[in-house]
């Protein structure tokens, strides 16, 4: 298997050195550019989730939804009706939680998509087959 013109043969020392160097470059890139953003968004996500849990009893809502609904459409309608009956603070917390969760998922997906080849190369030592001794 070849990525970026680098052969995977252990006999090629230049390719092995380049692979090690690029692995370090991508590790530093990840920790300097992607990890801080994901950490901030993760803290925001947890903080808003804690706010949601103090204002809204999800367990009670789910129990009421299961008791009140007799199908999927009634189940969804219960959540829509419940959302519009709640206070403005609860609605804003739910909207903020969904928005931050969407941004968090988008950033993870973009980071992985942008560097999928780099991550494959970063994880390539796992894909190198070791010759068996016979």
Decide if 48 is inside a domain.
yes
Decide if 47 is inside a domain.
yes
Decide if 2 is inside a domain.
no
DSSP string, 21-75: HHHHHHHHHIIIIIHHHHHHHHHHHHHHHHHHHHH--HHHHHHHHHHH-SSHHHH
Structural domain for 84, as ranges: 13-123
* pLDDT on residue 65: 81
Decide if 1 is inside a domain.
no
Give residue-wise pLDDT tens across range 14-35. Answer: 888 888 888 888 888 888 887 8
pTM over cut 0.85: no
Decide if 6 is inside a domain.
no
**Res 6 pLDDT > 80:** no
Name the domain count of the chain. Answer: 1
What's the token pair of residue 47?
A: 């903080």
Decide if 130 is inside a domain.
no
Decide if 64 is inside a domain.
yes
Ramachandran region of residue 6, left (φ > 0), alpha (ψ -120 to 50) or beta? beta
Give residue-wise pLDDT tens across range 86-123. Answer: 788 878 888 888 898 888 888 888 877 776 656 566 56
* pLDDT on residue 130: 44
What's the token pair of residue 57?
A: 């009893």
Give residue-wise pLDDT tens across range 50-82. Answer: 888 887 787 888 888 888 778 888 888 888 888
């Amino acid at each position: 298997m070849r990525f970026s013109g680098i052969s995977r043969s252990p006999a090629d020392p230049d390719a092995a050195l380049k692979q090690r160097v690029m692995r370090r470059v991508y590790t530093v890139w990840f920790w300097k550019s992607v990890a801080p953003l994901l950490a901030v968004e993760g803290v925001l996500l947890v903080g808003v989730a804690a706010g949601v849990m103090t204002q809204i009893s999800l367990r009670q809502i789910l129990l009421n939804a299961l008791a009140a609904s007799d199908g999927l459409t009634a189940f969804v309608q219960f959540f829509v009706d419940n959302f519009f009956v709640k206070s403005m603070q609860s609605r804003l917390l739910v909207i903020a939680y969904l928005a931050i969760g969407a941004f968090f998922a988008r950033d993870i997906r973009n980071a992985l998509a942008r560097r999928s080849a780099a991550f494959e190369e970063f994880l390539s030592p796992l894909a190198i087959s070791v010759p068996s001794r016979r």
